[in-house]
Amino acid sequence: MDFQLSDEQRMIKETVNKWAFNELGPLQEKIDEEDWLPPDFFRKCAEIGILGITMDEKYGGLGGDVLMQALAIEEMSRVSPALAMTYGAHSNLCANNIHKNANAMLKEKYLPPLISGQKVGALGLTEPNAGSDAMGLRTRAVKKGDKYILNGTKIFITNGPIADTLLVYAKTDPDKGAKGISAFIVEKDFPGFSVSRKLKKCGMRGSPTGELVFEDCEVPAENLVGQENNGVHVMTSGLDIERIVLAAGSVGMAEQALEYSIQYAVDREQFGQPIANFQMVQQKLADMYTRTEASRLIVYRAAEAVQKAARGGKGTELTKLAASAILFASETATWVCDQAIQIHGGYGYCLEFPVQKLWRDAKLYEIGAGTSEIRRMIISRELTREAFSRKSQR
């Protein structure tokens, strides 16, 4: 397996790294303390060309691959995990899913303003009573003439309070269960749509998260994405890529926590010498580095599996790798950030040191895009699927 990045991939990585450290870095205290999203954030993302990485050039995209998207989020997450998550929800969860699954008319209408940063995107899946059980969503969509009427509530929606364009899932045939789900593009100005509240989070501050309400929300029938009752295909295919991309965010957080810890261990002196000379600190740093690098490799391999699946590879391998990537990377990031706090001691627990923010931010990726528990269930299911099939044929 070739682990060398292409020139284009390396350019994306370097461009985002430089922009994030130079322009987002000085804003981090304000972003975290005030739960503030810089008003020009999406415009700046568009200027450096990262809002449409995986989308066709005719819509304003780069026509790149999932690894390029992952690299962008990894580098941004080293500086601002919250804004990286907001970027991912816009570019991957919303725009890329539209690009993959919508018809030409919808793509031509909605993708250019999303890729140019004129519009903000979001994905509306999770509900108050349908989190891990995504197939149990209760939002209904009933077709009446040339419109669908949506009723229901979505919760924990990244970019929900500010989104102009949302990809929303609803039941069009509740009796069919998972086979009765459809996907729709909803605009914030459609009658019956509203944001009921912005949620307060302990981490990922600066990334707006909200609760959305659909009360007889009128959606043009032409805004159906794919076929009616085939939304589960849109949902599941998008989740694999979502998990890979967000896993890269965990890699970025772990990497930065490690870098802070190395510098602190060299600078901080106790008992007449730098704490980097103490074996217990050395062990922590070595383990932090090893787990971070292992996370990076599994995330990159999963991103490559997306390209193989597009060329006819096995979908079960992609699903297994995607779940494994975010399971391992997210738990690694939480652990590495926790070790970083320990190395920094009392200073690490103070708001003036950045490791505490990474620590608060990292935990979310053990919950979002399917909890660690759900990811383990997915991996086990994929591992045993073929064995059960062989057993039934004996």
pLDDT one-digit tens code per residue, 34-59: 999 999 999 999 999 999 999 999 99
Half-sphere exposure of 347 (CA within 13 A, CB side): 10
pTM of the model: 0.93
Predicted confidence (pLDDT) at residue 313 exceeds the cutoff of 60 = no
- In tens, the pLDDT along 158-193 reads 999 999 999 999 999 999 988 999 999 999 999 999
Which one is catalytic: 74, 75, 127, 242? 242
Q: How many Å apart are CA 162 and CA 90, to the nearest integer?
A: 11
**What are the tokens at 116?**
């140019």
User: Which residue has tokens 């929303």?
Assistant: 168
* Residue 242 annotated in active site: yes
Structural domains in the chain?
Answer: 7-120 (1.10.540.10), 122-231 (2.40.110.10), 234-393 (1.20.140.10)
pLDDT of residue 40: 96
Which H or E run contains 219? strand 209-220
Predicted confidence (pLDDT) at residue 250 exceeds the cutoff of 80 = yes
User: Which residue has tokens 């209904």?
Assistant: 140
Predicted confidence (pLDDT) at residue 61 exceeds the cutoff of 70 = yes
3-state secondary structure at position 272: coil
Q: What is the dihedral of CA 33, 39, 44, 47, to 10 degrees?
A: 170
- In tens, the pLDDT along 203-226 reads 999 999 999 999 999 999 999 999
Q: Please give the average per-residue pLDDT across 291-312, as a whole number.
A: 87
Q: 147-158 and 193-198 as β-strands: parallel, antiparallel, unpaired? A: unpaired
Q: Where are the beta strands (DSSP E) in the chain?
A: 121-124, 140-144, 147-158, 165-171, 181-187, 193-198, 209-220, 224-225, 269-270, 273-274
Which H or E run contains 386? helix 372-393
